[in-house]
Amino acid sequence: MLTGKHLISGDWVAGGRTFESSPVVGDPKTFSEGSPDQVDLAAQAAEAAFASYGYSSRTDRAVFLDRIADELDGLADQLTEIGSAETGLPAARLVGERGRTTSQLRMFARHIESGEHLDRRHDTALPDREPAPRSDLRLIQRPVGPVAVFGASNFPLAFSVAGGDTASALAAGCPVVVKGHPAHPGTGELAAQAIDQAREACGLHPGVFSFVQGGSHEAGAALVQHPTIRAVGFTGSLGAGRALFDLCAARAEPIPFFGELGSINPVFVLADALHLRGGAIAQGWADSLALGVGQFCTNPGVLVLLKGEAATDFAISAVQALQAVPSQAMLSQGIADAYRAGVLGVAEAAHVETLFVSNIEGRNATPALFRSSGKAFLANPLLAEEVFGPMGLIVEADDMDQTLAIANALDGQLTATLQLEPEDQAEAQRLLPVLERKAGRLLANGFPTGVEVCDAMSHGGPYPASTNFGATSVGTMAIRRFQRSVCYQDLPASLLPDDLLPF
């Protein structure tokens, strides 16, 4: 079923250069490597498609999204088989991720059918108002134009070719050009096939969706700098994301770059919670930390508590829980190498105690656990940097004032968690205003891995968690990234968009 090619304006085409996949199971496969010339063709096709797709009805777009979900479900077994072989993720995880992917496609279909995303507003004319009359003003959200999406390494389905960025952009009325991730090129191609089959069945312009394979930096740079691209969705590393963000800002006409770049998702365990259920919190934190070999953007890498006997007991419980976690394959060799380097960097940092040493052999890894004082954490910015993988750091603060200092010193986060009991309310009230400015989602007595796809979800945060602190990449609000406000003043009804009538 795999061609190893790119999908550009409805045709599967090969490139001059090739690369090989690096599966955990099975033989490598050969895929075409995207080039700036192919990116140019895809972006031009997307611009041509916008003339029709950008003005299509919400009903037609909802039918398209539902059809994509159906096509993905039709490829269920193949997606699970090749996704598991390429990434090492267990079949059950990929089945669940496919369910999330199709559910969010259908969620956006229902969302645009309701019209809630349009945020329609109407101020009627006041011709007799003094001292000056008011015109008739109608406002609506319109699609921005072609959107570039970069597939993520850690979610081969839900944050990649047919993932949330693509779903929300298509829902808004924006054609999409996806640059696939080289860690799972076969999975990406199958998802692209599903989207193209749905596009063809719905009779849409072939430029509505294109897919370019490979990890070429040249192709990525060409995509975000192409003059027809009007916005970018990205999930990945801070270094790669920041480089693309800077290219978007340096364009003659800058465009928004919606990047999710990195987060340590701190957990603050307050005094009564630590004393009453420290062991249970340690087990829950270890489970969250090690979930999916720690390869979640919401992985809770740092935990802060007050030093003392209860903190010592907590560390013992966390070590015991993490020792039981078996070695597992990471998503790619590059991720495993970066994890190894990150663990080594923390282990060699001053005033950091190694509680449990990670065993990293080739692409496989086990958790690692370290401990530092609050003073050491505040003195060394390295300890507050994300290590992508199942590495945890326990920070023992001297008192509540130092805990607040730690919270204030944090960079932007996707999430921040409070473990608390009723007796901890006063301390929580001191922390909450600080954490609210640091994170896009605040949790109580839970753990941040697992992001519900729904209306009320916010998956974003201040930099470097994301490059646009007012945006979310999960939930129905994600569509707002790919819309812009247009106000129509005194236009006759015959010239207004259909979505403004009879509003």
Residues designated as active site: 260, 297
Q: Is the dihedral of CA 395, 469, 297, 30 positive or negative?
A: negative
Longest CA span, the chain: 79
Contact criterion met (CB below 8 Å) for 161 and 211:
yes
- Distance (Å, whole) CA 359 – CA 328: 10
Cβ(333)–Cβ(182) below 8 Å:
no
How many other CB atoms are found less than 10 A from the CB of residue 381?
10
DSSP assignments along 130-164, one per residue: SSS-B--EEEEEEE-S-EEEE--SS-TTTTSTTSH
- For residue 416, give the nearest of 318, 292, 300 by alpha carbon: 300
Rounded to whole angstroms, the Cα distance separating 46 from 228 reads 8
Contact 322, 369 (CB under 8 A): yes
The DSSP result for 157-185, as a single string, is TTTSTTSHHHHHHHHHT--EEEE--TTSH
Q: What is the DSSP string of 318-350?
A: HHHHHHTPPPEE-S-HHHHHHHHHHHHHHHTST
Q: Name the token pair of 384.
A: 């507050």
Residue type, 175: P
Kind of pairing, strands 267-269 and 302-306?
parallel
H-state helical runs in 18-75: 36-53, 58-74
Q: Which residues contact residue 437 at a Cβ distance below 8 angstroms, ignoring those fewer than 6 apart?
A: 462
- The single-letter DSSP state of residue 441 is E
Q: How far apart are CA 380 and CA 400, in angstroms?
A: 20
Residue 255 gets the label, from left (phi > 0), alpha (psi -120 to 50) or beta, of beta
Tell me the three-class secondary structure of 351-385, residue by residue: CEEEEECCCCECCEECCEEEEEEHHHHHHCHHHHC
Residue type, 473: S
Tokens of 113: 């059918």
Q: How far apart are CA 176 and CA 149, in angstroms?
A: 7
